[in-house]
Amino acid sequence: MKKKLLVLSLIVICIAILAAGTLAYFTGGVTAHNVITTGGVSVELIETTDGNRPFPAQGVSGVMPGDSVTKKVVVKNLGPSQAWVRLKLDVEVRNAEGELMVLEDFPFTLTGADPDKWLASGDAPYVYYSQPLDLGESTVPFMDAVEFKDSMGNEFQGSTLSLKITVQAVQTANNGTAVTEALGWPEV
């Protein structure tokens, strides 16, 4: 009986070894590593005065009626993608006591904007640059001076004019064929 049990055990082991050998598969594998990086938009607002020097951070003082203050404003595309650009101009005039002056007619004008390049829109208060800006390219000036009217009266003595310029940009890729068709402008 022991002999039969031993033979039977050997047969079972042989069948198990044969079955395991027939279940073997050839396998192989490979891993691909793909990196996809998104583009981006970055712009700089450049404000200069006479001699292409930076506009003074503290501003300009001692302005009189009829004076002109050089203030050249351009936008430069820092990249990496081509961009549409728009500007928002907020103007505030405060009297000598620091109180906000509500004016129907401002005592100054901004000069130098090319109306073929800088487009006013129904989307006020924005002004749009009509051409896409390539990497490293700058706009033509939005303005080149602030001219104070000769008719500026005594109520403006000691007053302060603040021009706050905000620039925004969005990519041109897959975003319309004109700046007025572009989507995705940042909320103000």
Q: What number of other Cβ atoms are within 10 A of residue 76's Cβ?
A: 18
Q: What is the pLDDT of residue 27?
A: 76
Question: Which residue ranges in the chain fall short of pLDDT 50?
Answer: none
Q: What is the pLDDT of residue 46?
A: 93
CATH match of 43-181 with 1.20.5: no
CA–CA separation, 149 and 16 (whole Å):
104
Mean model confidence pLDDT for the chain? 85
**Sign of torsion over alpha carbons 142, 148, 151, 156:** positive
Q: What is the pLDDT of residue 108?
A: 86
Domains in the chain: boundaries: 43-181
Q: Is the pTM higher than 0.85?
A: no
